[in-house]
Amino acid sequence: MAHAEPQTRTLISQSQLNRRGGRIVYWTVLTLVVGGFTLVFLGPLYWLVTGGLKSTHEVIQNPPTLFPTQLHPETYAEAWSKLRLGRLLFNTLYYAFGALALQLVFDVAAAYALSKLRPVLGNLILGLMLATLMIPAAVLIVPQYLTVLDLPLLHLNLINSPWAIWLPTVANAFNIFLLKRFFDSIPADLMAAAAIDGAGPVRALWSIVLPMSRPIIGVVSIFAVVNVWKDFLWPMLVEPDPRNQPLNIGINSLATGVPQNVVIAALAIASAPTVLFFLLFQRSIMSGLTSGSLKG
C-alpha cells in the first residue's frame, strides 16, 4: 500500500502521528497488527491447506513442521472419495440455492405486499413476523422438529427431504424487514404512474420495484446462501440419511476413523467455496452487514 486512505480525525490526531516519535510508534503498531492478524486469522487456513498435503505421520508429528517435507497432493483426492465430498458438496449447494430461490420469491413478494399493497392487518402481520426475532431460536427447535415430522393439515413427513431445510428458511423476518424498508423508499408517484399506465401489481413489482432493488436483493441473497452453508443443528436433525447430508454434518460424522491428514484436506476443500465467495463479494457482504444492523 503506497499511500493511506483519506481519513477523518480519530482518537489520535494526524499531527501527533507526524511527529518522529509518533511515526515510530505508528509503524511498529502497524507491523505488529498486520503480522499478528495474519498469523491469527490466516495462519489456521495455511495450516489447513498445508496439513492436507502432509503425510499421515507428519501431520501428528511433534514439533509440527511449517512446510510439508514431502508433498502428498493425493491426500486431497483421497479425501474427496473417502468422505464422499462430491455428494456432500452437491447437497450443500442444492440446499443453499433452493433456499435462496424460495426466499427470493416469497420474501420479496411478502415485503412488496406489506410495503406497497398494504392489506388490512398488514401491520399486525409485520409485527407478528418481527416478534419471532425476539424468540430464542433454541426454544423452537423441538416443536419445529415435530412439525417437520408431521406437517400440520397435510400430515406429510419432511424428514430426509430438502423441503425440511428450504421451507423454514422462508420464515425470515429479518429479510422481509430489510426488503420492506427498501421498498418503502421507492416513491409512491412512480407506483401511481405505473398503475395509470395499466400495470398490475405483478408487473409493477417486476418492472419497477425489482430493478431498483438490486443492492438489497444482493445482500439478502448472500446471507441466504451463507446461512444454509453454515447451519449445523437443524440439518443434523432433519437429514439423518448420510446420502442427504450437507458438508457440515457429513464431514463431522465421517471424520472418525479416517487419517487426520485426510480429514484436514477435506476441511480445506469444504472451506474453499465460502472463502472464495467471500473474497469475490466482500464489498457487498461488508456493506450489507453494517447497513442491516446499524440503521435498524
Partner 1 sequence: MAASRLRLRQNLTAYGFLAGALVSFGCFTWYPMVREVIMSFQKTKRGRTSWVGLANLTRITHDPAFWHAWGNTLQFTLLALLLGFAVPFLVAVLLNELRHAKAYLRILVYLPVMLPPVASVLLFKYFYDPGYGLFNHILHALHLPTSAWLNSPGSAMLSVVIAATWMNMGGATLIYLAALQGIPGELYEAAELDGAGLLRRIWHVTIPQTRLILSLLLLLQIVATMQVFVEPFLLTGGNGPQDSTMTVVNLVYQYAFNFGNYGSAAALGLVMLVVLAGFSAVYVKLSRAED
Q: Find the binding residues for partner 1 in span 115-144 (CB under 8 A).
A: 117-120, 122, 125, 128-129, 132, 134-144
Please, what is the angle between helix 85-112 and helix 247-254, to 10°?
A: 150
- Nearer Cβ to partner 1 (72/265): 265
- Nearer Cβ to partner 1 (72/264): 264
Q: Cα–Cα distance between 88 and 269 in angstroms, integer?
A: 11
**192 forms part of the interface with partner 1 (CB under 8 A):** no
- Nearer Cβ to partner 1 (72/263): 263
Which window, 68-76, 77-85, 185-193, 266-274, contacts partner 1 (CB under 8 A)?
266-274
- Nearer Cβ to partner 1 (129/191): 129
32-61 residues in contact with partner 1 (CB under 8 A) are 33-34, 37-38, 40-42, 44-45, 47-48, 60-61
List of residues 6+ apart from 214 with CB closer than 8 A: none
Alpha helix ranges (H) inside the chain: 14-18, 20-37, 43-51, 56-59, 74-82, 85-112, 122-131, 137-149, 163-170, 173-184, 188-196, 201-204, 210-212, 214-230, 233-238, 247-254, 260-294
**209 forms part of the interface with partner 1 (CB under 8 A):** no
> Shortest gap between Cβ of 32 and partner 1 (angstroms)?
10
Q: Cα–Cα distance between 204 and 189 in angstroms, integer?
A: 12
Candidates 114, 204, 216, 219; binder of partner 1 (CB under 8 A) is 114
Which window, 2-10, 70-78, 93-101, 183-191, contacts partner 1 (CB under 8 A)?
2-10
| Sole residue written with cell 423452537 | 140
**162 forms part of the interface with partner 1 (CB under 8 A):** no
Which window, 69-77, 190-198, 212-220, 251-259, contacts partner 1 (CB under 8 A)?
251-259
Q: Is 121 left (phi over 0), alpha (psi -120 to 50) or beta?
A: left
Q: What is the 3-state secondary structure (H, E, C) of 179-213?
A: HHHHHHCCCHHHHHHHHHCCCCHHHHHHHHHHHHC
**263 forms part of the interface with partner 1 (CB under 8 A):** yes
> Shortest gap between Cβ of 54 and partner 1 (angstroms)?
12
Q: Cα–Cα distance between 154 and 34 in angstroms, integer?
A: 57
**13 forms part of the interface with partner 1 (CB under 8 A):** yes
220-249 residues in contact with partner 1 (CB under 8 A) are 226, 229-230, 232-233, 237, 247-249
Q: Cα–Cα distance between 284 and 128 in angstroms, integer?
A: 29
66-95 residues in contact with partner 1 (CB under 8 A) are none
C-alpha torsion sign, points 153, 154, 157, 160: negative
Candidates 53, 96, 99, 113; binder of partner 1 (CB under 8 A) is 113
Candidates 79, 208, 264, 265; binder of partner 1 (CB under 8 A) is 264
Size of interface with partner 1, in residues (CB under 8 A): 103
- Nearer Cβ to partner 1 (62/69): 62
